[in-house]
Structure 1
Amino acid sequence: MKCRQPQRRRVRERGRRDGQYGPEDEADEIGSCPREETGADPADQLPTLITGQLCWVQTTLLGVIGREMVAGRKPDEVSRESLDLLDDMEDVPGEKVLKYAVREA
């Protein structure tokens, strides 16, 4: 998915102004992309649900990587295991999530 750059920049600047850039800002930033890409109605909650799934993948994967690196694991081992985890995570969301806003090749 491609988002408009101004939206991402606006979210980042808002976070910097008040000194906070938290998960909700990340969700806003990520969430604007599926809504834009599909032209979803503002009342449609599906883009919000898709965003939650994308944020879950990102948060979980980065959390595992961070914990393993802090524990002193070798980066190449963590990288391989993280890719395996990402492959496993792909099986968790349903077809509705995986096929949302897919572009034809």
Structure 2
Amino acid sequence: MMPATVFAMAEGLRERKKRETRRRIADAAVALFVERGFDRVTIAEVAAAADVSVNTVYNYFDAKEDLVLPLHHGDRLAGIVRERERGESAAGAVLRRLREEVGRRDPSLGLTSGFAGFYAMMRAAPTLVARLDEIAVRMTASLTDLLAAETGAAPGDPVPALVAGQIGWLHAHVLTEVGKRTDAREDPERTAEALIDLLDAIEELLGPRILDYARRH
């Protein structure tokens, strides 16, 4: 029988190799998509660039769009709120996370010099634009469910959905602002500075009713 420690090490190594393979495939795919356009690259070409088989690509990604925008991104807001600190509200947690990401110039917000090509590639692909819309809907829906469960809201209570909608709006507004400034070829540092001002304005606009909702005690 394999000792527990050896089994755990084997599991850890296997998971690490899976993550590395997944990242290699995604990186190879995005590089091809940016260079040639999303619709002009086949899964076979992605597999060849990543040095894996076509079946391996599909083992890690259910659809071509998942190589760029996995559906699990739709859990982002609920994940942030679920992990919020004691005394922090749902909206407060999202605002804090966004400020942290802006502060470290997180690539997930597009605050890098190479984001312009990636953003142009996404906008040129109708299926990726549709996937962005789907992810946004999922973000609000999953956050609504979480807020309703955590606050013990009665069935039919509209407040969790309204609060989730406001949080979804602020998150989408920040991403839209990044997109506009990327189109204008603005330096990422200037964009980051503008986003901090934008987040301050959003927080002031939301007011105490939203900012205090679902505060973790």
Q: Specify the TM-score bucket, using the shorter chain as the normaliser.
A: 0.7 to 0.9
Q: 2: CA distance between counterparts of 1:42 and 1:79?
A: 40
Deviation at 1:22, TM superposition (A): 4.5
Structure with greater helix percent:
2
Q: Residue 39 of structure 1 corresponds to which residue in structure 2?
A: 152
Q: 2: CA distance between counterparts of 1:30 and 1:76?
A: 31
Q: 2: CA distance between counterparts of 1:37 and 1:43?
A: 15
Q: For residues 40-63 of structure 1, give each alpha carbon's deviation from its aligned partner in whole angstroms, at most 9, with x where no partner exists.
A: 112211101101110110111110
Q: For residues 10-59 of structure 1, give each alpha carbon's deviation from its aligned partner in whole angstroms, at most 9, with x where no partner exists.
A: xxxxxxxxx85253222112222211221211221110110111011011
TM-score of the two chains, using structure 1 as the length reference: 0.74
Deviation at 1:93, TM superposition (A): 1.5
Give yes or no for the alignment of 1:54 onto 2:134. Answer: no
Indicate if the aligned counterparts of 1:2 and 1:37 stay in contact, CA closer than 8 A: no
Give yes or no for the alignment of 1:76 onto 2:164. Answer: no
Q: Residue 115 of structure 2 corresponds to which residue in structure 1?
A: none
Q: 2: CA distance between counterparts of 1:82 and 1:91?
A: 14
Give the fraction of aligned pairs with identical amino acids, expressed as a percent.
Answer: 28
| Moved >4 Å (runs of 4+) | none
Q: 2: CA distance between counterparts of 1:32 and 1:64?
A: 27
| Consecutive unaligned residues in structure 2, runs of 5 or more | 1-80, 84-129
Give yes or no for the alignment of 1:87 onto 2:200. Answer: yes
| Consecutive unaligned residues in structure 1, runs of 5 or more | 4-18
Q: Residue 103 of structure 1 corresponds to which residue in structure 2?
A: 216
Query: How many aligned residue pairs are there?
Result: 89
